[in-house]
């Protein structure tokens, strides 16, 4: 099985995190992970095509926003909340809060 690369906590940079969260599809993935805690790729197939989903999940992982844990044939995705809060205290919660407020205002 191929090893999944995750940046070390010290390698997570603000510009990369903000860039990864600037895309609406990736932000929706983060909002769902905030609600679910952990999910498989199948949880997000309604957000975009499988090819695009792979791309978006990779961008989030490479930016240090998510962690992918292989379990058997499945891969579980979760937010790296602790690492992000250590590097940028309150940033993730603030972005999630603003995104939820914006989604509520749109409906």
pLDDT digits (tens, 9 = 90+) for 1-39: 568 899 999 999 999 999 999 999 999 999 999 999 999
pLDDT at residue 56, as a whole number:
95
Domains in the chain (CATH in brackets) are 9-87 (1.10.10.10)
pLDDT at residue 107, as a whole number:
65
Distance CA 80, CA 61 (A): 9
pLDDT at residue 55, as a whole number:
94
Instruction: Output the pTM of the full model.
Output: 0.89
pLDDT digits (tens, 9 = 90+) for 76-102: 999 999 999 999 999 999 999 999 888
| Cβ-based burial of 16 (10 A; exposed 0-12, middle 13-18, buried ≥19) | middle
- Is residue 44 predicted with pLDDT exceeding 90? no
Average pLDDT over residues 50-61: 92
Distance CA 102, CA 57 (A): 22
């Amino acid at each position: 099985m191929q090893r999944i690369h995750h940046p070390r906590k010290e390698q997570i940079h603000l510009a990369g995190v903000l860039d990864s969260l600037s895309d609406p599809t990736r932000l929706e993935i983060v909002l769902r992970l905030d609600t679910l805690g952990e999910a498989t790729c199948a949880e997000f197939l309604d957000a975009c095509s499988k090819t695009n989903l792979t791309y978006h999940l990779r961008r989030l992982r490479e930016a240090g926003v998510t962690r992918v844990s292989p379990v058997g044939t499945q891969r579980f995705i979760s937010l790296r909340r602790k690492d992000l809060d250590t590097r940028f205290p309150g940033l993730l919660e603030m972005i999630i809060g603003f995104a939820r407020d914006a989604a509520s205002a749109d409906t």
